[in-house]
Amino acid sequence: MSCTAGVLDHRGHQVVGFTTRGDSRKLANLRARPRVTASIRSGWEWATVEGDATLIGPDDPAEGFDADAIRLLLRAVFIAAGGTHGDWDTYDRVMAEERRAAVLIQPVRVYSNG
């Protein structure tokens, strides 16, 4: 399964982040086993990160993250992944309707072909 991911700062640490729908099998699996291996590719270059996942979303509460902080975190993950949006209100509404969660991977192992 693929998704768009990016690197961002989370509480003073560099993490790999992506979002996933609240009703996804991916999120259910991460709730049961929050260990992730993610490979990221650009052309022929690739990197893989392994680590523990922190889940933050409307159904995955985290200390210091109210609804507004979750909204801003989802935007930050999207922007870190290279996304831009011309209508942030619509983006926020869709993310809330889909009950999106941010998946933040704290790397414990990183390797690549470069």
What does the block give as tokens for 111?
């390797």
Looking up tokens 């609240």 gives 22
CB atoms within 10 A of CB 5: 21
Residue 1 pLDDT class (50, 70, 90 cuts): low
Flag whether 17 is in a domain.
no
Flag whether 96 is in a domain.
yes
Flag whether 99 is in a domain.
yes
| Contact present, 70 and 59 (Cβ < 8 Å) | no
Flag whether 106 is in a domain.
yes
Flag whether 47 is in a domain.
no
Q: What is the span of the domain harbouring residue 97?
A: 53-114
**Arithmetic mean of pLDDT over the chain:** 94
Domain count, the chain: 1
pTM score: 0.92
Flag whether 61 is in a domain.
yes
Segment 48-62, tens digit of pLDDT: 999 999 999 999 999
Q: Could you list the beta-strand ranges (E) of the chain.
A: 6-10, 13-20, 35-42, 45-56, 101-112
